């Protein structure tokens, strides 16, 4: 789902192709679909945290990778893209997930009802507070951008603030801790190795390299970027 969405993004942003699904009458519906894609991604990450031996180590490792990715997107925007194009990532999904993984041990130890309450606050209550600040105050700093509060000049090629997305992650943690408390598959049958298993096992690498591959293929098709 993520790869599909990014193909559409590249066609629109880099080649000016008006994809009906994102630029036509279906655009408003597709925004909902996009949030479903992202929510599923984050929810599954929360579930996965209940299986990890060390979420802290995973989080620190992922944060370093995410920082490197931000540098790559910055230099790519400056030296490879036409003037005026910018895909620099500031607190994108990898940075967001890294912070979530670092926080995961807290929610794994808390009572599940307390964790669910915190998650619900992030999803249903705090967004209204963020909206109030954004609409009623002139924000001149991006210090709080990880919480969804930022200035008018702030931009990121990929942006997932803790409010409200941390709540989705917490729900995933609780789901994983509850449903997979015995760390066994919910399916009674064993599936043979397949593409879904492969993608799940190497999801980080697929995330890191799918865009360069997509852009390379589109470059071969259109002959320019």
Nearest 5°: the CA angle 9, 10, 16 is 95
Q: What CA–CA distance (Å, rounded) separates 74 from 46?
A: 29
What's the token pair of residue 61? 């490792």
CA dihedral sign of residues 48, 120, 122, 102: negative
Backbone angles phi, psi at 146, to 5 degrees: -65, -15
What's the token pair of residue 166? 């941390």
Confidence class of residue 192 from pLDDT cuts 50, 70 and 90? confident
Task: List, for residues 49-65, the tens digit of each pLDDT value.
Answer: 989 989 999 999 999 99
- Tell me what pLDDT residue 114 has: 97
CA distances from 62 to 3, 102, 109, 114 (A): 20, 10, 22, 27
Cα 221–chain centre separation: 28
Is residue 205 within 8 Å of 79, Cβ to Cβ? no
- Tell me what pLDDT residue 210 has: 92
Stated pTM of the model: 0.90
Mean pLDDT of all residues in 81-101: 91
Task: List, for residues 95-133, the tens digit of each pLDDT value.
Answer: 999 999 999 999 999 999 999 999 999 999 999 999 999
Residue 77 has pLDDT above 80, yes or no: yes
- Tell me what pLDDT residue 29 has: 87
CA distances from 195 to 26, 79, 85, 198, 200 (A): 30, 36, 34, 5, 9
Percent of the chain past pLDDT 90, that is, above it, reads: 63
């Amino acid at each position: 789902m993520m790869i599909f969405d990014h193909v559409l993004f590249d066609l629109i942003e880099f080649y000016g192709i008006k994809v009906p699904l994102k630029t036509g009458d279906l655009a408003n519906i597709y925004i909902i679909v996009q949030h479903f894609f992202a929510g599923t991604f984050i929810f599954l990450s929360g579930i996965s945290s209940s299986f990890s031996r060390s979420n802290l180590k995973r989080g620190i490792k992922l944060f370093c990778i995410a920082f490197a990715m931000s540098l790559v997107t910055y230099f790519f925007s400056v030296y490879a893209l036409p003037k005026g194009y910018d895909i620099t990532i500031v607190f994108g999904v990898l940075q967001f997930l890294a912070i979530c993984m670092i926080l995961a041990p807290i929610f794994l130890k808390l009572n599940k009802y307390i964790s669910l309450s915190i998650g619900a606050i992030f999803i249903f209550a705090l967004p209204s507070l963020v909206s109030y600040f954004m609409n009623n105050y002139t924000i001149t700093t991006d210090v709080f951008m990880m919480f969804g509060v930022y200035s008018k000049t702030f931009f990121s090629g990929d942006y997932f603030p803790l409010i409200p997305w941390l709540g989705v992650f917490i729900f995933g943690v609780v789901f994983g801790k509850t449903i997979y408390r015995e760390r066994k598959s919910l399916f009674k049958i064993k599936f043979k190795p397949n593409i879904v298993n492969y993608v799940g096992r190497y999801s980080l690498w697929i995330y890191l390299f799918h865009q360069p591959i997509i852009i390379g293929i589109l470059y071969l098709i259109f002959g320019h970027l």
